[in-house]
Structure 1
Amino acid sequence: MARPQAHPHIQEFALIRSLEGQFARHAPGLVQGIGDDAAVIETSAQAWWYFTTDLLAEGIHFDMKSATSESIGYRAAMANLSDIAAMGAVPRYLLISLAIPRTLKRSHIYKLYRGLMKACRLYDVALIGGDTSASKAGLFLSITLVGTTSGRRALFRRGAKAGDDIYVSGTLGDSLAGLKLLMSRTTSYSLVRRKTKFSRSHRQFLVRRHSHPTARVAEGQWLNDGQLASAAIDLSDGLSGDLRHLCEESRVGAEIELDTIPISPACRAYARAIGVSPIRFALTGGEDYELLFTASPHNCETIEQQAQTRGYRITRIGTIRPQRFGIQMRSDGRTQPMPATSYEHFR
């Protein structure tokens, strides 16, 4: 999928910070506003409410030529479910608004909604409203997801401290590899025909990881309910970018051990077949929707034991350092700054 050309006047994250500074105001009951994976509202009951929203644009977030309507809906829902997961909350309600081009058939809209609801049914999320409009410039989806926690406790991006361990769930880089395969079908099939170690099962795994990702909702609730994590974020923009977001909010640095980053056999096989390092996929690939979280070393044994018992794949990949350390990556005994290589709108 082609990336948009650089905007001459806008930088995405600078724009977000500017808007926050100009327009964000404290409001009664507001626990967390702009700057995290979801907003948090305190009500009179012993509960917090969580609100997150995403705007997805054809040609930027998805391509109708390489993705089915069902997978577009499924991934759109999972993107928001993952934000709620990163806060440690229970997803409850979904609202969706569509701007629909004349070229899109009614059947495509129904398939898109089926994909949305297929993802939502996994977590008992109810669709409670939305809106539709005509579009002269492709398909647009605006999704709002509401979640709750029974207590007044959440996982925030702020909270990481020097000395904390850094963990990720699952494996990284699969979604980007799957997207590349969908965008170059001839290349992917020729890799299989040439009898490299990249097989059809590898291809199927990576494509599914892109088109039908999994939001780590249960893992987020486990970390929050057990007060096991000090900070968390979901991996939607890539490890290099999302780690940087967490460190900025916590005002800390980080050191990542590249050799410990969990990469699936399928992603490794694909990277070898096309002659690139699999670490590149892990650092730059967004939309894996895994959790990146930090925890006190005192919780290390508890986290690893409970994760094994519950069947969660959790991997320690580094350590939080003081802010002056920056964000570094270590491999083969050498340390170097981690480049900011993940995707950013308007760049």
Structure 2
Amino acid sequence: MPSGGSRRARPVRSEFGLIRRLQARAAKPDRQVALGIGDDTAVIKTSSTEWTLITTDLLAEGVHFDLATSSYEDIGYRAAIANLSDIAAMGGTPRFMLVSIAIPSTCSTTEIHQLYRGMMQASAPYRVCLVGGDTSASKHGLFLSITLTGVVRPGRALLRSGAKVGDRLYVTGTLGDSRAGLDLLSSRRRRTLPAAHARFLLARHHRPSARIAEGQWLVKQGLAGAAIDLSDGLTGDLRHICEDSDVGAEILGGSLPISAACQAYAAAYRLSPQEIALQGGEDYELLFTVPAGQQARFERLVKKTPFHCTCIGTITPKRSGLRLRTEQGTTSPLPLTSYEHFRRPS
């Protein structure tokens, strides 16, 4: 092309492809960086007794939340949980939080205080301290960015790259509730769903839980090989573990833990509860692996806790890819149905 000519910029088409390219271009890490771009948090070797975890998440109005269906408190709460869940996925303890916010002229001081109240409600059980941040005006909606630090014992952080062929796949809690709750908000279907089920699903969407205690317990027991939090959905987040560990996986469709409320929602609107569980995002449950030889011991230990963990599949060789096995025993490729920024609808 001649010098000075114009060239049309190509739009970003893959969130994770962009991340991989940025990771490749990143400067050579300092010796203190145990783990940089590519996992739920960065891991920094700060002392001989504890390493520091650092994570950040950005929420944009119209992309991550809708002010027509969520209160400012709920938005703040979910924003904090997204970061707390990253610390949980590494098996860490959250410590300090910084908040940056861009505020449009349509927001009042009272509403911004409500936003921060939600963040602090989510963080209070873990004694997280708000230590700083930044504020700005915005001409295009509300933007909220949280940076959270935490700590973990040296060399003990749970990584996405630790899965081995033969490992069993486990997940905490139930899957698909947040997605069903979001669908209720956007479609107003809750008018025909039993009130108790609707309340449960809406609460799971607006006020999810970060599995901090579960992550810490997994680190203490030393039984988990790899882990990730389910923020984008099971099919997408499982792919991260498989790509980073260079393995495949087989999911047992009939084993997916689905709440009674989500099953009722699916039945009421003639939807597949399995599909909701596979594609639903923002459940913030933990997906992790346990070596096959340790499965019996893990099952015995977890029964002594208040945690709900379900085995949903097995890690397989990479050449097998990601597969879904039905209750009838047939298998098929696991479809990518999780959310990804910039991806065009097929």
Q: Same fold (TM over 0.5)?
A: yes
1:188 maps to which of 187, 190, 194: 190
Letter in 2 for 1:271: A
Using the TM superposition, give the Cα deviation of residue 298 of structure 1 relative to its aligned residue in structure 2, in angstroms. 2.0
Letter in 2 for 1:61: H
* SS of aligned partner of 2:126: coil
CA distance in 1, matches of 2:27, 2:251: 33
Matches within 5 A, 1:23-42: 23-42=26-45
**Number of the residue aligned with 1:4:** none
Using the TM superposition, give the Cα deviation of residue 302 of structure 1 relative to its aligned residue in structure 2, in angstroms. 2.3
CA distance in 2, matches of 1:303, 1:137: 49
CA distance in 1, matches of 2:27, 2:325: 38
**Number of the residue aligned with 1:194:** none
Say if 2:158 and 2:226, in contact at 8 Å, map to a contact too.
Answer: yes
* SS of aligned partner of 1:46: coil
1:87 maps to which of 82, 87, 90: 90
Using the TM superposition, give the Cα deviation of residue 82 of structure 1 relative to its aligned residue in structure 2, in angstroms. 0.3
| 2:303 is the counterpart of 1:300 | no
Say if 2:86 and 2:229, in contact at 8 Å, map to a contact too.
Answer: yes
| 2:321 is the counterpart of 1:326 | yes
**Number of the residue aligned with 1:242:** 237
For each residue in 1:298-332, what CA deviation from the matched residue of structure 2 results, as whole angstroms up to 9, or x when unmatched? 22122222222111000000000000000000001
Letter in 1 for 2:342: F
| 2:100 is the counterpart of 1:97 | yes
For each residue in 1:69-110, what CA deviation from the matched residue of structure 2 results, as whole angstroms up to 9, or x when unmatched? 000000000000000000000011111100000001111101
For each residue in 1:145-199, what CA deviation from the matched residue of structure 2 results, as whole angstroms up to 9, or x when unmatched? 10001343110000100000000000000000001111122x321x1xxxxxx41
**Number of the residue aligned with 1:269:** 264
Matches within 5 A, 1:1-347: 8-185=11-188, 187-189=189-191, 191=192, 198-331=193-326, 332-347=328-343
**Number of the residue aligned with 2:3:** none
Say if 1:240 and 1:283, in contact at 8 Å, map to a contact too.
Answer: yes
- TM-score normalised by structure 2 residue count: 0.94
Say if 1:161 and 1:252, in contact at 8 Å, map to a contact too.
Answer: yes
Letter in 2 for 1:149: V
Q: Mean alpha-carbon deviation: is it higher for 43-52 or for 333-342? A: 43-52
Structure 2 residue runs of 5 or longer lacking an equivalent are 1-9
Using the TM superposition, give the Cα deviation of residue 8 of structure 1 relative to its aligned residue in structure 2, in angstroms. 4.1
Say if 1:223 and 1:229, in contact at 8 Å, map to a contact too.
Answer: yes
CA distance in 2, matches of 1:268, 1:24: 48
Letter in 1 for 2:64: H
CA distance in 2, matches of 1:150, 1:250: 22
Using the TM superposition, give the Cα deviation of residue 24 of structure 1 relative to its aligned residue in structure 2, in angstroms. 4.2
CA distance in 2, matches of 1:271, 1:199: 12
Say if 1:163 and 1:297, in contact at 8 Å, map to a contact too.
Answer: yes
Say if 2:72 and 2:114, in contact at 8 Å, map to a contact too.
Answer: yes
Q: Which runs of 4+ in 1 moved over 4 A?
A: none
Say if 2:45 and 2:154, in contact at 8 Å, map to a contact too.
Answer: no
CA distance in 2, matches of 1:24, 1:117: 35
CA distance in 2, matches of 1:307, 1:321: 24
* SS of aligned partner of 2:313: strand
Using the TM superposition, give the Cα deviation of residue 289 of structure 1 relative to its aligned residue in structure 2, in angstroms. 0.1
Q: Mean alpha-carbon deviation: is it higher for 165-174 or for 16-25? A: 16-25
CA distance in 2, matches of 1:305, 1:221: 18
Letter in 2 for 1:268: Q
CA distance in 2, matches of 1:10, 1:277: 29
Q: Mean alpha-carbon deviation: is it higher for 117-126 or for 17-26? A: 17-26
* SS of aligned partner of 1:168: strand
Identity of aligned residues (%): 56
**Number of the residue aligned with 1:3:** none
CA distance in 1, matches of 2:333, 2:155: 37
Note closer, same or farther for the CA distance 1:148–1:9 as it changes in structure 2 (3 Å cut): closer
Using the TM superposition, give the Cα deviation of residue 48 of structure 1 relative to its aligned residue in structure 2, in angstroms. 0.8
**Number of the residue aligned with 1:195:** none
* SS of aligned partner of 2:303: helix
* SS of aligned partner of 1:249: helix
* SS of aligned partner of 2:331: strand
- Kindly tell me the number of residue pairs found equivalent between the two proteins: 333
